[in-house]
A = this chain, B = another copy of it.
């Protein structure tokens, strides 16, 4: 027994098709901890660099709520919105414009959008982090983005498990 999810569930956690397929194959997991350990292994050891780029492309840009890959996952879009809620609550029109301008510069330099685990971070914090990371070499930034993607994935796996637990406890009543 354990928590069973399908590819679509895992794709909402991390938009790499290979990640989702391997996680679905390894499912069910006895616990969230086991799922996180498997996810780290798949993401860092088995998903190739094109898969990393694919996952990055599935996110909306920071400061936007619409996904770059529309229609891909409703859960992913809703989670993005929740993760960015602090940032959006602390944003002004001019700071959103500045974030948008820096997003364009970032993408021109690195070829993918700025990935950050935005949960609990204010808009000025995110902008400061973007500016700091902008000076990195492309390969360094690629690895930092992959680490941030993993943080997002872990938060989303936790949400997935808690929704399942909630459904299970509701079913018991």
Contacts and interface: CB of A to CB of B under 8 A. Distances in A.
Interface residues of A, number: 19
Contacts of A112: 48-49
Contacts of A49: 49, 53, 110-112, 138-139, 142
Interface in A15-52: 44-51
Nearest to A47: B138
Contacts of A162: none
A127 interface: no
A143 B139 CA distance: 8
A87 B84 CA distance: 54
A7 to B, nearest CB: 20
Nearest to A142: B49
A146 B111 CA distance: 17
Nearest to A50: B111
Contact of A110 (B48, B109, B142, B143): B48
A31 to B, nearest CB: 25
A137 interface: yes
Interface in A45-74: 45-51, 53
Which of A45, A47, A48 has the most C-beta atoms of chain B within 10 angstroms of its own C-beta?
A48
Contact of A48 (B45, B46, B47, B138): B138
B137 A51 contact: no
16 contacts: A44-B137, A45-B138, A46-B138, A47-B138, A48-B109, A48-B112, A48-B138, A49-B49, A49-B53, A49-B110, A49-B112, A49-B138, A49-B139, A50-B53, A51-B111, A139-B146
